[in-house]
Amino acid sequence: MTTIFDKIIRRQIPASIVYEDDLTLAFKDVNPQAPVHLLVIPKEPIPQLAQAEPSHQALLGHLLLVAQRVAAEVGLTNGYRLVINNGQDAGQTVFHLHIHILGGRPLAWPPG
Ligand code: AMP
């Protein structure tokens, strides 16, 4: 199923892209929940974490390292939170796997 993130990957709709490599893309969330709110996505359209497979092991690790790199590049030196919403109860709205990077303010715990 095509999602809005496929369209961002294909440059069919605009996004504020902050990082790209062969396997991943990172861009600003259009509805930020913190002063810094970025999304890191694989270019491969895995709908959600629950549908990732052992063959995705390296890609999943790469996504975390991209998140680490992007967080450092945007100056999140005081810390940040990575979030993956998986499925209905977690409030997932876009069914293309993505990691939220949230930072720039103290973040409450537990999340809602
Ligand atoms: P989730 O609820 O985990 O599925 O998160 C989806 C995220 O995608 C939300 O935080 C939305 O604000 C964000 N989003 C939806 N459409 C766009 C878009 N066109 N550009 C950037 N972020 C988007």
CATH code for position 61: 3.30.428.10
Position 68 scores a pLDDT of: 98
Structural domain total, the chain: 1
pLDDT of 70: 98
Within 8 A by CB and 6+ apart from 43, the residues are 9, 22, 23, 24, 25
Within a domain: residue 89? yes
Residue 109 lies in a domain: no
Report mean pLDDT in 10-residue bins for the chain, 112 residues: 95 98 98 98 98 98 98 98 98 98 98 89
CB 52 within 8 A of CB 97: yes
Quick check: is 112 in a domain? no
Ligand 1 atom closest to Cα of residue 91 = 2
Residues 111, 83 contacting (CB under 8 angstroms): yes
Residue 29 included in any domain: yes
37 is catalytic: no
Compute the distance from residue 30 Cα to the ligand 1 centre, in Å.
6
In a domain, 45, yes or no: yes
In a domain, 110, yes or no: no
Catalytic residue among 37, 62, 98, 100: 98
Query: Which residue ranges have their beta carbon within 6 Å of ligand 1?
Result: 4, 15, 29-31, 39, 85, 91-94
pLDDT of 1 reads 78
Provide the pLDDT for residue 82: 98
Structural domain that includes position 88: 4-103
What is the distance between the alpha carbons of residues 52 and 90, in angstroms, rounded to a whole number?
Answer: 17
pTM, entire model: 0.98
